[in-house]
Amino acid sequence: MISQFTSSVVSNQKLGEKIFKLTLSSPYISKRAKPGNFVHIKVGSTYSPLLRRAFSVHNVDKQKGSFEVLLKVVGRGTGILSEKSPGDILDLLGPIGKGFSLPQEGKTVMLVAGGMGIAPLWFLLNNLIGKTDKEKLLFFSGAKTEKELLYCENLKDLGANLMVTTDDGSFGTKGLITDLFLKEIKGRKNDSSKLMVYSCGPPEMLKRMSEISKGYDLSCQISLEGNMACGVGACWGCPVKLENGWYKRVCVDGPVFDAREVVLE
């Protein structure tokens, strides 16, 4: 159930180029949020920026009653949030949306993250560790440059099979993460029914993931972004087109969709 509440900033940590991790105090979210859910944060008290900003729940700490969001400064709203200090109070709506469905037992699980798309997948991964056989857990992480690549060390420590690309080749394989993923899929002829894929990243990457999923009939859950106004399903401002020609709302019908069900442009 979506609730509105205030939450204080516990910490604000710079993780990379223009990338910040905000830890927020909220026993409510830490208990209720599922991987793939998001929160809708009011940036300030002035009218510019006006609308809330949506962020995936990046991780929760049930003991401490806190959760994290990952943000990259792309405009004024994220700029203001990146300057928050411990003790600052934020107005939030959450948890919102249909999250990821966890994989059935025995499936090989692939997580494919592009840039900031790692935000919800990190929370998902933390839920999978211990439940999924490490040999059957693959993490694909892509970014533009090494500076925007997050958690490589942590991912190795967690024991996930890690595959990395950067657009400029500054770390890992040079190229797109979707190409590396496709290569892996092609190498696993005829076992698409044994796979469960999860992905999040920029629009063009998710479009490619959707094409690959349709081409190989992969079970793939993608977490989408949309220009959201209300964030609670009322305004229909954040639609995603479906194969049947109609639309669903990214905010409450998603943000997680079957990659084979949606038409991304």
Partner 1 sequence: MVSGSSHLSVKIAGVEFSNPVLVASGTFGYGEEYESLFDLSKLGGIVTKSITLEPREGHPPPRTFETSCGMLNAIGLANVGVERFIKEKLPFLKSLKTRIIVNVAGSTVSEYEEVVKRLNRSKGIDMLEINISCPNVKEGGIAFGSKVKSAYECIKAVRKNSSYPIIAKLSPNVTDIVEVAHAVKKAGADAISLINTLVGMAVDVERRRPLLANITGGLSGPAIKPVALAMVWKVAKAVKVPVIGLGGIMNTEDALEFILAGASMIQVGTANFVDPQTSIKIVDGLSEYCKKKGIRKITDLVGKLKAD
| Residues in contact with partner 1 by the rule CB under 8 A | 1-4, 42, 47-52, 91, 93, 226-241, 245-247, 252, 265
Name the minimum Å distance from CB 168 to partner 1: 20
Distance separating alpha carbons of residues 167 and 117, to the nearest angstrom: 15
Closer residue to partner 1 (CB): 136 or 144: 144
Separation CA 214–CA 208 (nearest Å): 10
Sign, CA dihedral 116-56-81-27, equals: negative
Class of residue 191 by CB neighbours under 10 A (exposed 0-12, middle 13-18, buried 19+): exposed
Closest to partner 1 by CB, 99 or 231: 231
CB-wise, 171 or 247, nearer to partner 1? 247
User: What is the 3-state composition of the chain as percent helix, strand, coil, each rounded to the nearest 5?
Assistant: 25, 35, 40
Least Å distance between CB 36 and partner 1?
19
Under DSSP, is residue 100 helix (H, G, I), strand (E, B) or coil? coil
Alpha-carbon gap, residue 166 to 143, rounded angstroms: 5
Q: Could you tell me the smallest distance in angstroms from the CB atom of residue 46 to partner 1?
A: 9
Least Å from the CB of residue 231 to partner 1: 8
**Minimum distance from residue 228 beta carbon to partner 1 (Å):** 8
d(CA 118, CA 144): 13
By beta-carbon proximity to partner 1, the closer residue of 33 and 150 is 33
| 68/225 with CB nearer partner 1 | 225
